[in-house]
Amino acid sequence: MLSPETVLVLNATGAAIVQLCDSNRTIAEISAELRGQFDQVADGDVQSFVAALVTKHSMEVSHG
């Protein structure tokens, strides 16, 4: 992911989360989908990952 002065290199799980962020799915829906793909998805993991990217302005929350 590119931001003005940094390049964030996502690992496979990070990339899986970002791919599901389509401005329609909620965090809960993304977590649920990931549970189908991965053995374990801890409560709050997706939320804290996305929140960190939002703080960095790498992602925006769609309120639609």
In the complex, the smallest distance separating the C-beta of residue 20 from other proteins, rounded to whole angstroms, is 20
Q: Which is nearer to other proteins, 7 or 40 (CB)?
A: 7
Which member of 28, 47, 54, 62 binds other proteins (CB under 8 A)? 54
Q: Is the C-alpha dihedral spanning 45, 17, 60, 62 positive or negative? A: negative
Helix (H) or strand (E) holding 7: strand 6-7
Spell out, one character per residue from 7 to 26, where the chain touches other proteins: x when CB under 8 A holds, - when not: x-------------------
Around Cβ 39, how many Cβ atoms within 10 Å? 5
